[in-house]
Chains A and B, each alone.
Chain A
Amino acid sequence: MAEIRVMREDLLPPKEPPRRHLISIGDLRREDVERLLGTARNFERSLERELKKLPTLRGKTVVNLFYESSTRTSSSFELAAKRLSADTMSIKSAGSAVDKGESLKDTSLTLGAYDPDVIVIRHPQIGAPQLVARYTGAHIVNAGDGKHQHPTQALLDLYTITEELGRIEGLHVAIVGDVLHSRVARSNIQALALMGARVTLVGPPPLIPRGIEAMGCEVSYEIDAIKAADVVYVLRMQRERMAEGANFVPSLREYTARWGVTPERLRPGQKIMHPGPMNRGVEIDPMVADAADALIEQQVRSGLVVRMAVLYDLLTHGPAGVQAVALHEIGAA
């Protein structure tokens, strides 16, 4: 007769590894970024074919949960999922249960009941993606949380720069404007530093957060500092975040006069980027926006293949590395 053995915990088969998410660039290693950009490049080639749809994610469900208005991010995630043959569902806060005061936790539990494979979330509050990750079993992709992170934007920017200039390592990128309110800036500073670029932030002192140098960038308050850069990345002046009387800058007029990116402040050959939507004539001169060296349209195109790569990578088990910070792991200092 066979002996009945009590199995020790460490003899049991390993538990399922934690689900992978893309919440912050800080969760990625350099090899993760290289793998994602490589996958995006393969998808770009496949899109050159007559039939643009790939069967890769057939039967998978991708939910787009958008609590903030968005045109390019939501449409590119939706198209990316469709190109990979996933089923998609889009939920916008207006007109949904959110309008009736449902909490993010309850919305997450409700959506989680359908077992979606991926939830793409944009939310005005920092930490919303982590919260959704806690209450659903889906892979979470952060499509922008407050002023915190917008990791797919940074990845598509890296992709655009690599396609255009052949490399990122050793390049000098100037990020100009309202860094304080910009999740795009935070994700890009981390991503560029991770890949070996030099980053200089340029803008008025109240819009450059105190202590941001610790992220591995330099700071200048003089617009002339952009002349030395290979790439000038112009941030949107976030007028909707500029509450009356906040006095970050005395006026948009003075901002434009002092920090607007104009043809005179650039030198030939510098590449210009902007995450959109642009305020022409405020942070960027229309001549600069429409110049041949502007990569702004390429950025939008890159968005599609990079988001395809992110969805593909999360749903086909690539090496671990894209992981959220566990909410309960707070150690004492």
Chain B
Amino acid sequence: MLFGRTGEENLVVRGARVLDPAEGVDAALDVRIDGGTIAQLGTNLETNAHRVLDGGGLVLAPAFVDPHVHLRTPGREDEETIASGTAAAAAGGYCAILAMPNTEPVVDSAAVLRSLAEAAHAEAEVPVGFLAAITRNQSGAELTEMAELAEAGAAGFTDDGQPVVAPGLMRRALQYSAVTGRRLALHCEEPTLSRGGQMHEGAVSAELGFGGYPSVAESLMVERDLALAAYERQPLHLMHLSARDSVEALSRAQVAGVAATGEVTPHHLCLTDEAVRSLDANVKMNPPLRAEEDRKALIAALRDGTIAAVATDHAPHAGHEKEVPFEAAPFGVTGLETAFSALYTHLVEPGLLKLETLLERMSAGPARSYGLEAPRIAVGSPANLVLLDLQASRRVDERDFRSRSANSWLLGQTVKGQVRLTIAAGRVAFEG
């Protein structure tokens, strides 16, 4: 389901704090990689004439998996390409990403999917999985040929960017997804409630005069989709959750035995609707930044595992598209290159989340949500590793992005926690 290059790197990382929460590893160790595979963990390892990296003072963890990226290819290569998006992913510590199908044309046929897979083989810095659309042209009318798409390598199905509005069609998609072995990933938004909405509906939108996008527009659809998933006994992945009520619905469904997973973005974990007072187009996204009570519920859900995955919803936009009044700007912000440092700075440093939990929710959690093999630090596993410098800080500058777009909500801010090295599928994908 992942397409990209693999490598046969020979490398020894010496003396880093090796931290893999899932494997129960947390110790200062040397790690030797032979031919792209983790060959040995221990102290004072033989280098076997490999290149040696000093990991003193750094953390070596399983590299990250981003389940929600917009690569804008095909159609908007001015905003992102497979090469630039995956270079951004590598710089952010990711060893695998999943790309959304809302491109021009939409990824709704095996032909489009195969051409993307081929391009990823040639130019991706880290392996990419492609989700295909649930409905043809994402128009919410007819199902795509899901079985053929799955055979061609679709990592899952989604109409991301918009909801599957008709409940009857949603039910058919759930039923049919059973034969594909892939799960549906849903953008939950009730369009008649969110219509005209520019930001979260609440005291800030009332004051600023923006059309409100109420949290119930999300949670109502979450409830509907969970009810259908329970009825059909099918798994489901809920994308970019933003509201407390959605999290509570997910938690209830999980307790009731529904195989539902969820994801949350760094911006929803770090910001609230108060940020919109700046009128900066780089805090405009769908779903919108919500109230502090929502943010708290999202953090709590990430902590207790109700939400198992951090997803960037990396959504590049051309500069001129965001250099307009807030109301005219498109929804979406970039995130691949800043996710770890944003969350380390805003959640781990203030004590809201443990480093171990963050690492798990950025790596094994998202991999599990889509049935992908989780990156792990164990002998015999392919090397999917990230080397982190938790002490280093930097000012986020648009000139430093590998992404073709710079619509980041962190521009000008100083963040802590830097990626020094990313190894993806046994290949050094980033070194900085």
Stretch of B47-55, B104-112, B170-178, B322-330 at the chain-chain interface: B322-330
Give every chain B residue within 8 A of A333 (Cβ-Cβ).
270-272, 274-275, 292, 295
Q: Are A209 and B280 in contact (CB under 8 A)?
A: no
Give every chain A residue within 8 A of B345 (Cβ-Cβ).
332
24 contacts across the A-B interface (CB closer than 8 A): A104-B324, A104-B325, A125-B326, A126-B325, A126-B327, A130-B279, A131-B325, A148-B208, A148-B210, A149-B209, A186-B207, A210-B212, A212-B203, A212-B207, A214-B206, A214-B207, A215-B207, A326-B278, A330-B275, A332-B413, A333-B270, A333-B274, A333-B275, A333-B292
Q: Are A146 and B209 in contact (CB under 8 A)?
A: yes
A327 interface residue (CB < 8 Å to B):
yes
Q: Are B209 and A183 in contact (CB under 8 A)?
A: yes
Distance between Cα atoms of A175 and B412 in the complex (Å): 41
Task: Identify the interface centre among B292, B295, B413: most chain A CB within 10 Å of its CB.
Answer: B413
A128 interface residue (CB < 8 Å to B):
yes
Q: Are A325 and B327 in contact (CB under 8 A)?
A: no
- Cβ distance A160 to chain B, nearest Cβ, rounded Å: 23
Distance between Cα atoms of A105 and B279 in the complex (Å): 15
Contact of A127 among B270, B325, B411 (CB under 8 A): B325
A329 interface residue (CB < 8 Å to B):
yes
Distance between Cα atoms of A215 and B281 in the complex (Å): 24
Who on chain A is nearest to B209 by CB?
Answer: A147
B3 interface residue (CB < 8 Å to A):
no
A103 interface residue (CB < 8 Å to B):
yes
Interface flags, B174-217, vs A, CB<8A=1, else 0: 00000000000000000000000010011111111110101000
Q: Are A328 and B280 in contact (CB under 8 A)?
A: yes
List which B201-250 residues lie within 8 A (CB) of chain A: 201-210, 212, 214
A17 interface residue (CB < 8 Å to B):
no
Distance between Cα atoms of A218 and B413 in the complex (Å): 38
Give every chain B residue within 8 A of A147 (Cβ-Cβ).
209-210
Give every chain B residue within 8 A of A146 (Cβ-Cβ).
209, 325, 327
A211 interface residue (CB < 8 Å to B):
yes
- Given A211-B201, A214-B206, are A125 and B346 also a contact pair (CB < 8 Å)? no
List which B259-275 residues lie within 8 A (CB) of chain A: 270-272, 274-275
Q: Are B412 and A328 in contact (CB under 8 A)?
A: yes
A139 interface residue (CB < 8 Å to B):
no
Distance between Cα atoms of A318 and B285 in the complex (Å): 39
Q: Are B205 and A211 in contact (CB under 8 A)?
A: yes
Give every chain B residue within 8 A of A213 (Cβ-Cβ).
203
Distance between Cα atoms of A325 and B326 in the complex (Å): 14
Interface flags, A181-194, vs B, CB<8A=1, else 0: 00100100000000
Distance between Cα atoms of A215 and B274 in the complex (Å): 14
Q: Are A328 and B326 in contact (CB under 8 A)?
A: no
B76 interface residue (CB < 8 Å to A):
no
Distance between Cα atoms of A113 and B277 in the complex (Å): 29
List which A108-127 residues lie within 8 A (CB) of chain B: 123, 125-127
Distance between Cα atoms of A146 and B270 in the complex (Å): 28
Give every chain B residue within 8 A of A130 (Cβ-Cβ).
279, 325
B399 interface residue (CB < 8 Å to A):
no
B59 interface residue (CB < 8 Å to A):
no
List which B324-351 residues lie within 8 A (CB) of chain A: 324-328, 345-346
Contact of B323 among A126, A131, A325, A329 (CB under 8 A): A131
Contact of A209 among B205, B272, B279 (CB under 8 A): B205
B82 interface residue (CB < 8 Å to A):
no
B16 interface residue (CB < 8 Å to A):
no
Task: Identify the interface centre among B207, B210, B325: most chain A CB within 10 Å of its CB.
Answer: B325
- Given A329-B278, A330-B409, A333-B295, are A212 and B271 also a contact pair (CB < 8 Å)? no
Q: Are B274 and A105 in contact (CB under 8 A)?
A: no
Distance between Cα atoms of A146 and B208 in the complex (Å): 10
B95 interface residue (CB < 8 Å to A):
no
Who on chain A is nearest to B346 by CB?
Answer: A332
